[in-house]
Structure 1
Amino acid sequence: MPTTRRQATLEKNGELVKPETSSKPAAKTGRGRGRKSKKQSQEEATIAGDKRNAEEAAQNKEEEPPSKKPKVDDEPSTEQGAKSDTGDFSPLTGEHCTIERGHIYFFYRPKVQVEEAESLDDVRNFQILLVPRPPAFAARDDQSKVDNEMEEDSEMKLLSAGADAVPAAEPKGQEKKKFRVITVGKKQLPDPDSGGSGRGRKETFWATVGSGRGRKETFWATVGTVGEDLNKLENGLGEKEYETKTRGKRHEEPARLAGRGVYAIVNDDPSTPSKRETHLGYHLTHPSPSELGEVQSEMRVYPASSFIIQVRNPLAPVSGGQRVGLSQGRRAEYPERIMKEVFGEGTRGRDGSGLRFSTVNRPELLDYEGAELLLIGARSGEEALETSLGEGRGEALKEAAEKEEDESIQEVLKELAMDGGKIPAEPLKGEWL
């Protein structure tokens, strides 16, 4: 029945149509409250219960003394030596990502009881010293800080390609500075221009990666010392005397400085994970190309070069029963998070020990004494260095080396807080000592 005059008129004229059903719920009136559905009753009961719980929780919180404040679950761990377990050692992404830069030094030490080395045969060990530094544009003197954001943005735009590979200048005379000493097994760097000896060891299967013809030359290396006390470093490289039961007093000459330069460690990110590589590339500042001699030639310390680094899993068994690398008790003791996240312990490998080798996803992998490395010859020469590091980093290292090549050897040794009279630097002229 029409309820309004307009509806009655429309019905009389045959124009009244049925109104469309609205999607909105009809307004409740007093008559419609008599009966509720079971679902509506349950929902209202739930809302009422939640409201009561919230009120009770608020009341309890007000009555609770401050000393019993609950501990926040996501508070970071303060355990000694602990780091965040969320991605600390996950691979860095992005093509040609610089993970570390700094200054590199090459030392050799004559054999015991040998006063002067005349060739590589008289060398006891050959060592690489890495001294990490922040990028050059990140190290500013307090007086030169720029407070204006516009000026900072302008400065960042002026950074040349590859600037992230250039280390800041070494502060001189400081006794605290992070360093690593790496001993190379063959007393020389792997030749990047050689196809390798092809000994067929399964342990050198990584030598096939990278560009080049055939299997690359691969040498073992070991991280011997990691620290920040440069006095300890000087003592380790200095002259030594000790007593033995069978041969009496023994004498070791101090290590000799054979080269110094700038370096960068770069990770790439190819489309295929199995082709990932970590490259360590360097450009010498000392000696200059005209002063290179027999020492640098035999140790293959070229003006500019690069090699691939792989880190060995300390738990991985040696295939074929071969005796290579350090004994089990002398290998690096990585924490569990590294073993799982980097090597895949428990999930990868035939026996669950994980991958036998890994790229240097993070430089922390080199900060453990006893870490075993594979050094694989990659490329030599300035153009080849650029190929290895990519994105202008090779050229940037060259420019940085040219700026530092005028520093005297005394200044270089002061960077390491060393006495120039205790660490001979004459081999920088290319002649054995």
Structure 2
Amino acid sequence: MGEGEETKTREEPKVEIQERGEIFFFYRPKVNHDEAHSVDEVQRLYIVLRPESGEREEEEKQSSDSGKEGAFNKSETTEEAQQESHADDEKEEEKKKEGGKGIEKVNIVKKPLMRFIVMGRKSLPDTSKRSRPYWGFVEIVTTKPEDIKKALSEEQYETATRGTRVKPAARPLAEGVYRILRHYPTSEGKGKAMHTHLVYKLELPLPEEKHEPQDSMNVEPEGSLIIQIKNPEQAAPPNAGLQSKRKATFPAHLQGQIGSHRFVAADPPDFLNYEGCEFILISASDNIDAELGLDVKPEDMTDENYKSCSDLVNMFGEISSIKPLIEGTWA
């Protein structure tokens, strides 16, 4: 289906597209649950971003020989498992690798680049109203779809107190197109309160289908979220954020842009190409055109066999039931 297209509908406010691509949403039921029938039975919400074009054909990412790329390190092992065995956690922590180091350029027009994102909450911020910032982090950056598929698949693991536990496969929740853009709210020039947005519009599930899990997790048909990158050198509040070994190691030119600030705009989006990159999302609007004067258009889903034209299914396969994606119902 591709990245779709966008049209500017008015001159104000000023926006500049930094990156275009496809966005995929997944949710994972809780440990030892065959299915989820409400948000209370959901363990995690995931986002996968696949940039396809932008201001530059090449994006910088962590080096593939950094020891991080595609190494699904189980860092988001369920809270339930962590509570069951603190000793297991300490052993697992010793195995966790440092943030990706080194720089590699990827031509995103010719080669797939994917970011696997873990959200700290089981939903997005509600874009129809103001809310507290929602935290997330980049778990995997890879050019190999099979790395993402592995991260979404079912997994069994051992705990000291309850034996074998099963982490069920993630369910495909929605797919669409996204933009990361600079937003200058006034006409007074580029130096006036610029910030960056992640905006998206869904292709699946179709508007006429049910949207039960999507509504429960605030994955609306379209949304605009302010995105800010957290400085890995700044301390997080107690019991919050990633531990030091898992935080991103940005190259000097990106870390230099952050300086002493705690949060900065996602400019360039290359920040998101380093595993361990932490960020916050802040609700902005559920109407992209009204807020930003930008009409984002996904490609039309006209094929009656939606499965055949779903980029999510074509790229990652049917790792589990696709009912949430196609019918908008829980599975």
TM-score range, shorter chain: 0.7 to 0.9
| Structure 2 match to 1:49 | none
Query: 2:321 aligns to what?
Result: 424
- Tell me which of 182, 189, 195 is aligned to 1:267: 182
Match in the other structure for 2:289: 386
Q: CA deviation at 1:232?
A: 1.2
Match of residue 96 from structure 1: 15
Residue aligning to 1:355: 261
State whether structure 2 residue 144 is matched by structure 1 residue 229: yes
2:112 aligns with 177
> 2:276 is paired with a residue of what secondary structure?
coil
Indicate the residue corresponding to 1:286 in structure 2. 204
Deviations 1:295-354 (A, max 9, x none): 011011111111000000011134xx54321122211111222111x112xxxxxxxxx1
Give the Cα separation in 2 of the matches to 1:361 and 1:326. 22
Partners of 2:148 and 2:196 lie apart in 1 by 27
| Structure with larger RCO (C-alpha < 8 A, sep 6+) | 2
Cα deviations across residues 184-217 of structure 1 (Å, max 9, x unaligned)? Answer: 1111010122232xxxxxxxxxxxxxxxxxxxx3
In the TM superposition, structure 1's runs of 4+ consecutive aligned residues that sit over 4 Å from their partners are: 413-416
1:416 Cα shift? 4.8
Secondary structure of 1:302 counterpart: coil
Q: Is the 8 A contact 1:312 1:372 kept in 2?
A: yes
Say yes or no: does 1:195 pair with 2:139: no
Match of 2:30 in 1: 111
Q: Does 1:365 align with 2:243?
A: no
Asked whether the 8 Å contact 2:19–2:180 carries over to 1, the reply is: yes
**Unaligned residue ranges in structure 1 (runs of 5+):** 1-93, 139-169, 197-216, 345-353
Alignment of 1:97-246 (within 5 A): 97-134=16-53, 177-196=112-131, 217-246=132-161
Letter in 2 for 1:425: I
SS in 1 for 2:316: coil
* Paired residue secondary structure (1:268): strand
SS at match of 1:338: helix
Match of 2:240 among 320, 324, 334: 324
Report Cα offsets for 1:53-110 as digits up to 9, x if no partner: xxxxxxxxxxxxxxxxxxxxxxxxxxxxxxxxxxxxxxxxx94111111111110001
SS at match of 1:365: helix
Matched, 1:301 2:198: no
Query: Higher helix share goes to which structure?
Result: 1
Residues 295 and 414 of structure 1: CA distance in aligned 2, closer, same or farther (over 3 Å): closer
> Per the alignment, do residues 241 and 230 of structure 1 end up closer, same or farther by CA in structure 2, a change over 3 Å counting?
same
Contact 2:130 2:284 in 1 (8 A): no
Aligned CA-pair RMSD: 2.5
User: Normalised by the size of structure 2, how large is the TM-score?
Assistant: 0.73
CA apart distance, 1:273: 4.0
Partner Cα separation in structure 1 for residue 322 and residue 130 of structure 2: 32
Residue 134 of structure 1 aligns to a residue whose secondary structure is strand
Asked if 2 retains the 8 angstrom alpha-carbon contact of 1:266 and 1:389, the reply is no
Superposed displacement of residue 246, structure 1: 2.6
Secondary structure of 1:285's partner?
strand
Q: Name the structure 1 match of 2:72.
A: none
Once residues 317 and 277 of structure 1 are traced to their aligned partners in structure 2, the CA distance between those partners, rounded to angstroms, is 22
Q: Which structure is larger by alpha-carbon Rg, 1 or 2?
A: 1
- TM-score normalised per structure 1: 0.56
Asked whether the equivalents of residues 295 and 432 of structure 1 are also in contact (C-alpha less than 8 Å), the reply is: yes
Q: Is structure 2 residue 132 aligned with structure 1 residue 254?
A: no
Note the C-alpha offset of 1:247. Answer: 2.0
Given the superposition, is the C-alpha separation of residues 387 and 365 from structure 1 closer, same or farther in structure 2, using an over 3 Å criterion? farther
CA 1:133–1:362 in structure 2 vs 1: closer, same or farther (change >3 Å)? same
CA contact (8 A) 1:99 1:266 kept: yes
Query: C-alpha separation between the residues in 2 aligned to 1:412 and 1:240?
Result: 25
8 Å Cα contact 2:127-2:283 kept in structure 1: yes
How many Å separate the matches in 2 of 1:305 and 1:405? 23
Q: Give the 3 Å change call, closer, same or farther, for CA 267–405 of structure 1 in structure 2.
A: farther
- Indicate how the Cα distance of structure 1 residues 370 and 272 shifts in structure 2: closer, same or farther if over 3 A, else same: same
Alpha-carbon separation, structure 2, partners of 1:324 and 1:357: 15
Q: Distance in 1 between matches of 2:234 and 2:153?
A: 35
How far does residue 182 in structure 1 lie from its aligned partner after superposition? Answer: 1.2
How many Å separate the matches in 2 of 1:224 and 1:322?
21
- Look up the SS of the partner of 2:253 in the other structure: helix
Q: Distance in 2 between matches of 1:355 and 1:256?
A: 37
Partners of 1:125 and 1:97 in 2: how far apart?
32
